Structure 1
């Protein structure tokens, strides 16, 4: 009887584990599909080449931006993108980044659905950036 109870518990835990893995994989591939649908992912070298002719947006919260950001980037936290979208020019490329790529994927989808065509995302985000950075004098 004890063995049957342990087996049922083990099976339930195995099923839960498998469901979690499937959900994680589904989320990963959905994010990748969304990124590729609305934007082009650029490595650091290509991102650096294009930022001088683009609108570079840091989608992280303002506090993170103030601690350090890509030189020339503008703080536009994802939460405020809707309110500030009219400040962007759809005819110019938009370069997005955040700590990884999750916020950038959401931002790219939002902009892409609103007619922006030239959207680029920094591969691996600011966490892997080795180019020029700047800290804001207004640290929160």
Structure 2
């Protein structure tokens, strides 16, 4: 195989692989000035006070030794993305789905998105956790 064809094939494979693991952000409002990660509050349900929704963020599950570590590392990525958008809070959604997917992958049973997984770290890259990046008035 000639060098240009090899280079093209490598680029195509890289493009395909990056598309499978892509995180996503869907803007719901206007981005604000970025804030420090330490300023972002993690909420598991919408606050009782008024807030402004900035974006819906989805990230693939991050590496970790166990289920808690994976969840903690994934939430850290959500927080970092929210901070870049100027959000001072994230409402984490889908933790029940995350836990169910984790248990299915860990035991090697079928996962609900139409794919069957075995006990493999690469299976976690298909699981995503979502959050709504929000701005809470001080």
User: What TM-score comes out, normalization by structure 1 length?
Assistant: 0.29
Please state which structure has a larger fraction of its residues in strand. Answer: 2
Larger helix share, 1 or 2: 1
Q: With structure 2 as the length reference, what TM-score do the two structures score?
A: 0.29
